[in-house]
């Protein structure tokens, strides 16, 4: 799901700073001579590590290297890109941001559904499942989030899913609201779960993978299946497929 | 900004049904023999045209053609994909959805900013600027939208921008809240505007292009410039660029 623009950027890089969610297949698209440095953050103190990444990026670019900071998903959505852009601007280093497919779009495509519907879902909202400390964010307007006509997508919400679902139900969202969860979307080890908001509150979401999970809440997920769609199996040579397709 | 997966889909298509916002460069990536049919909707009665597109897609796939429905942006976000998927499912035709870069991500990348920030923007929300009739949607929770810690992105909101801004200000959002607007993002005729929510309410957003405009509202846009970034000019051979890069 890499864009052509991202491939071109990878192929022009002297150094690639990548997150640990980036697959080997993507890294192989870079020039053989390019230096590849994993700056993955899982299991470390996040804020400290972010400062290290900023310094490394600024240092290497300052030496005249063409640096690519490679992330999974879209850097503008819960990707800490703002802090990296600010660090580069502070050091007077020019940068360009190449957008990516954010996890919500990848999830919707994998489940074969739309996050909006002109009759049922007028808006879509992305929130994070944890604040700086790893707990449920405290400054959330739960009443506003518990809106049945908005599709709610929770990034990095595996650990706080049950507490969040409880707050949404208390704030008025129906416990029967459909929920889908996906980890490792579009990867070979992709994992899916399907249930209701009540199931989520009852702690029935158990993510086996170490991949971060993305959770979708709302009527948009009523048609989600817990199985991979038959259409996803491109090995069937005689399947008549009509693809819904996207191009920016 | 097309993904590698989308290019592969295009190259396997017998027939491509494309919107009028899709560029010639993208269409040229398809096989020479592929039939290309423009099903662009601007200027027509939208709902009627959507039924025609559904029928055409079902008819062609039913004849055994491999059909690609090519859209600009991400089909799961205000892309009517739900209705197309339902029409195909109703006719027992297998389909796969290939995600794309939605306009909000393309806009954030073009402006060199993040839509979320761990301190300032805890969530991001996409809404549409008009309902079925082209007017401002009536069932909107304005109080919920007027949340200073959420980045608000308005799709297709050019005509209703002034009325929407007025409602947001009345609902408590500061008239000094930064606003950015982009039309034809990432195209050669890209157009940008920068102002405040008060400017928007005062009808100071005048979009010259026939491209749909995307409007961003919130502190995230404080650093947006109305000029293209110097880093976007890839023709400078000796520019030391550090790219922030994304891969799904």
Mutate to test the interface with A, among B99, B134, B172 (most CBs of A within 10 A): B99
- Residues in B closer than 8 angstroms to A66, CB to CB, are 240-243
Residue A113 and residue B69: Cβ atoms within 8 Å? no
Residue B116 and residue A5: Cβ atoms within 8 Å? no
ipTM of the complex: 0.89
Q: For residue A248, is pLDDT > 50?
A: no
Angle at A2 between CA A36 and CA A47, to 5 degrees: 55
pLDDT of residue B42: 60
- CA distance to partner chain A, nearest, from residue B198 (Å): 23
Residue B247 and residue A4: Cβ atoms within 8 Å? no
Residue B99 and residue A101: Cβ atoms within 8 Å? yes
Helix axes B46-62, B81-90, angle to 10 degrees: 40
pLDDT digits (tens, 9 = 90+) for A209-222: 677 899 999 999 99
Which residue of chain A has the CA closest to B88? Answer: A242
pLDDT digits (tens, 9 = 90+) for B100-135: 999 999 999 999 999 998 778 889 999 998 766 677
Catalytic positions of A: 19, 41
Query: Which of A81-90, A196-205, B203-212 is predicted with the least confidence, judged by mean pLDDT?
Result: B203-212
Summary mean pLDDT of chain A = 85
Cα distance between residue B3 and residue B106, in whole Å: 13
Select which of B5, B14, B19, B141 is catalytic. Answer: B19
- CA distance to partner chain A, nearest, from residue B19 (Å): 10
pLDDT digits (tens, 9 = 90+) for B163-196: 999 999 999 999 999 999 999 887 888 899 999 9
Can you point out the beta strands (E) in chain A? 15-18, 35-38, 67-72, 94-97, 123-128, 150-155, 178-183, 191-196, 213-217, 241-247
Using CA atoms in the order B75, B57, B87, A105, what is the torsion angle rounded to 10 degrees?
Answer: -10
Q: Is B41 in the active site?
A: yes
Token reading at B195:
């102002």
């Amino acid at each position: 799901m890499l864009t052509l623009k991202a491939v071109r950027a990878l192929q022009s890089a002297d150094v690639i700073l990548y997150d640990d969610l980036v697959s080997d297949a993507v890294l192989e698209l870079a020039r053989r001579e390019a230096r590849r440095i994993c700056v993955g953050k899982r299991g470390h103190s996040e804020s400290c590590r972010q400062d290290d990444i900023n310094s490394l990026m600024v240092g290497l670019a300052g030496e005249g290297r063409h640096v690519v900071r490679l992330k999974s998903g879209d850097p503008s959505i819960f990707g800490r890109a703002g802090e990296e852009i600010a660090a580069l601007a502070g050091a007077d280093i020019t940068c360009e941001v190449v957008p990516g497919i954010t996890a919500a779009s990848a999830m919707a495509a994998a489940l074969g559904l739309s996050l909006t519907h002109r009759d049922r879902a007028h808006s879509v909202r992305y929130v994070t499942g944890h604040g700086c400390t790893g707990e449920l964010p405290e400054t959330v307007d739960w009443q506003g989030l518990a809106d049945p006509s908005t599709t709610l997508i929770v990034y990095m919400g595996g650990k706080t899913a049950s507490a969040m679902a409880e707050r949404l139900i208390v704030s008025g969202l129906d416990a029967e609201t459909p929920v889908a969860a996906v980890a490792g979307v579009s990867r070979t080890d992709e994992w899916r779960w399907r249930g209701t908001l009540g199931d989520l509150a009852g702690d029935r979401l158990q993510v086996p993978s170490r991949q971060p999970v993305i959770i979708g809440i709302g009527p948009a997920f009523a048609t989600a299946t817990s199985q991979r769609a038959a259409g996803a199996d491109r090995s069937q040579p005689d399947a008549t497929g009509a693809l819904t397709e996207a191009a920016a």
